[in-house]
Structure 1
């Protein structure tokens, strides 16, 4: 019988990602993942509801990080600055040592339409949660929705850049650049209409 070892969840995640990349997501079973780290399939299911959850584990912690940044911003902070605070806090969830894992995860997800749909759903949930938090902070509609959707988009664009092979900037740096680009588009649009 295999004895409990610390880091079981992380070992299962690492093995799963490696197997998904080698064999494909559909071709890899929960039993394969468990066996790769010397555990039983039953142990796998103690940690994850199914093999998809290996790739999407941590969503609630990421959302909590975004919300913490938003909550820490001073009262009266404009909506887009609240989103910037949420983005900075969320970036802490992705230290540079997670970049290779995130890159491989993105490759696995991109090869499976059902996983891509799950990823889109995850981003929509993030935007919805940000919207609710902005409304609770007194940001009126449609500003709350626009700011939340913009924040989700900035995160997605920045994350895509962060996992590029030749990228070395932190996620927070990239998010700041992408958000500045969004602001400049809005400013340019205002100048063009006046």
Structure 2
């Protein structure tokens, strides 16, 4: 594959996933990732700060998507309904990404360093969501609780999705998990 070919970022992501699965995250170098992708190390570093970040490139896009959905929700909507609508948007982001998501999840689960980075990503997402809810006029404690609950719903639905066959899709599992949360908080035992 020539260096001039398009989609360098996608090629780097795929090469990294393959190598991490074959050798483990700790035993894979940036040089090996770049070579597998048919690129140079310099090109790798134009796209990522280090070999961890190749797996977390979508974090900014995910945050922008959910924060934008919170901001765009009708002013009369309750915080939990706004969070549910934001999670609906998340489901669309992962359409046709099941294989990548499953491989990425397996690589992260196999590395303590990557699990820590994933937790940091989720904490950053919760902080951004809480700030978005506060901008909507939601009191700080309610904003933080709603954001943390939304992140928990996302994590649980995502883990169910990648542990299965990809069916039902992530959007369905997000709706189902949110319904379960609403049922639990209303005193019912199920959706």
**Class of the TM-score when normalised by the shorter of the 2 chains:** over 0.9
Residue 168 of structure 2 corresponds to 169
Give the drift of 1:4: 2.2
Mark the CA change 1:30 to 1:76 in structure 2 (over 3 Å): closer, same or farther: same
Q: Which residue of the partner structure matches residue 129 of structure 2?
A: 130
Is the contact made by 2:31 and 2:41 (CA closer than 8 Å) also made in structure 1?
A: yes
* Runs of 4 or more consecutive aligned structure 1 residues displaced over 3 Å after TM superposition: none
Q: Deviations over 1:11-68 (max 9, x none)?
A: 0110110000000001100000111122221221121111101100111111111112
Q: TM-score under structure 1 normalisation? A: 0.92
User: Counterpart of 1:159 in 2: which secondary structure?
Assistant: helix
The 8 Å contact of residues 128 and 148 in structure 1, kept in 2 or not, is answered as yes
Match of 2:93 in 1: 93
Tell me the secondary structure at the aligned position of residue 142 of structure 1.
helix
How many angstroms does 1:166 deviate by?
3.0
Distance 2:123 2:79 in 1: 18
Distance in 2 separating the partners of 1:164 and 1:51: 25
* Counterpart position of 2:83: 83
The size of the alignment, in residue pairs, is 188
The answer to whether the Cα contact below 8 Å between 1:67 and 1:133 also exists between their aligned partners in 2 is: yes
Q: Displacement, 1:3?
A: 4.3
The secondary structure found in structure 2 opposite 1:27 is coil
Contact in 1 for aligned 2:15/2:36 (Cα 8 Å): yes
Following TM superposition, by how much is the alpha carbon of 1:91 offset from its aligned partner in structure 2, in angstroms?
A: 1.7
Contact 2:69 2:85 in 1 (8 A): yes
Partner of residue 58, structure 1: 58
The DSSP-based 3-state class of the residue aligned with 2:167 is: coil
1:103-142 Cα distance to aligned partner (Å, 9 max, x none):
1111111111111011011001111100000000011132
1:155-192 Cα shifts (integer Å, max 9, x gaps): 00011111123340121111110011011111117xxx
Structure-1 residue corresponding to 2:179: 180
Which structure 1 residue ranges, 5 or more long, are not aligned? 190-194
CA positional deviation for 1:154: 0.3
1:106 aligned residue: 105
Asked if the contact 1:66–1:86 (Cα under 8 Å) also holds between the matched residues in 2, the reply is: yes
